[in-house]
Structure 1
Amino acid sequence: MTRTPLLPVIALALGAALVPLGASAKDHGRDHGPEAYRAMPGCPPGLAKKNNGCTPPGLAKAKPQARIWRPGERITTEYVVLRDPARYRLDPRATYWRSGDYLYRVDSQTGKVLNLIGAVSALLN
């Protein structure tokens, strides 16, 4: 009966223990970029390098919805005056303001909404 030399078995065991546990066959031990790219666990490298909190491009540009004003309310911010209402077949004597994606007929003196005309895209078609 022969005995297996102890030194080669110990060397083999130590060599296996020194291989990093996270390395896979696809990594081949290569570094995949700066530490900042790997700082966000679960984030793909393409999104991690954009430094936007791992937000996909379609969601990164999403704007908040504009407020819809109701009759009697006063439009106070973010409006554009419609200069030529007759062009859109609206009453040319009335005052119209656009806020967000909606068109309103307003009292020119107070800025109060008299009527919600509708979505601007519907008027342009």
Structure 2
Amino acid sequence: MKQIIILAGTAALLSTTPAIAKPGKGNPHAGHANHQAMGHAGYGTGGCPPGLAKKNNGCLPPGQAKKLYNVGQRLPGSYGQMWSYNQVPYDLRSRYGFDPGDRYYYGDGYVYRVDPKTMLIRQVVSALLR
């Protein structure tokens, strides 16, 4: 009985063929040069998917963009949409004590209160607006 199991196991191992992966599997950057060499620049603006291109955040998915910009970090001027103090909804201004002297940016469902001189983020408020 032992010999049958050993023979069956050996036969199973010998009958399998190694899997051949396509280039780039497991490494998202492998093969990228090939696409550019063939003239494929991707789709949307600068190879960015249309939904991310609209966000104006450097083609970052919303979860990654939120992780990048926190209190004390410098907010790039190209990120989000700049709002004046009066464009920020009244309930947010009053609830969070926003100052008319600061700058405000809206991006990916968050309002960023930014120091106008240093462009450092002072406050991040979740504000999913329709």
Normalised-by-shorter TM-score class: 0.3 to 0.5
Structure-2-length-normalised TM-score:
0.39
TM-score calculated relative to the size of structure 1: 0.40
Higher Cα Rg, which structure:
1
